Structure 1
Amino acid sequence: MEKRIINPWTWQDGRDYAQAVEVKNVESTLYISGQTAIDDNGISSNDDMRTQISKALENLKKVILQADFEVKNIVRLNIYTTNHEEFFNNFDVFQNWITEHQIQQTTTAMEVKTLFETLKVEFEATVVK
């Protein structure tokens, strides 16, 4: 798999995403449903945004590894949140996770009216190998 990052500017670098990602010679593509802060028993979290971001990213990583893909090969990562301000006040959790896994991905962040039950954030990803 070959991955090329396209960034006509430099301002997005501090926000940990790419304007575009070209992928060639892909062996396989994994499309992941939105991952949230739901525990192993299917119970939705009542925790704060910071805790839910961490748990949702943990669940995303678990799905990727279970599918025998690498987290660093996320090429698209969409974010749905019920509160943009609260999400971006805790953005460092997301940025640290992106940096830890050396991900360069396209991202769209959207505020939505509601998510399932008590959930505040959801991550939807596409991963390649």
Structure 2
Amino acid sequence: MADRGRGTFRGMRGGPASASRGRGPQPTMDKPKREAILDLSKYVQERIRVKFTGGREVTGVLKGFDQLLNLVLDEVEENIQTESGEHTRKLGLVVLRGPTITLLSPVDGWEEIANPFLAQDGA
């Protein structure tokens, strides 16, 4: 009675006897390793711009990332657009959650262009 529930396997479920009941070894399925959609390794230590769902936008130096697109940025500045103009706020070192990111681009070589799909005034 004192041994009840203390690791003795006398016909209990999950014990060594139940592991060999006609099932045998289970085949292992080798799944191909998932690769990230984006290769961000070439942007490590480079300044990037990130936009989020909800409209927030930050720029910073990419320090690290994972396969879920979670990012670690340093020297981060948040660009806040208000009715009175655009302001920046320094945030320092931050971790950005991948599922909230909608746009990611390098700052070098980035320039804003006019939207060609907006209705023209003269049309």
TM-score bucket (shorter structure): under 0.3
Instruction: Give me the TM-score of the superposition, normalised by structure 2.
Output: 0.21
Higher strand share: 2
Higher RCO structure, 1 or 2 (CA under 8 Å, sep 6+):
1
Higher helix share: 1
Instruction: Give me the TM-score of the superposition, normalised by structure 1.
Output: 0.20
State the structure with more CA Rg. 2
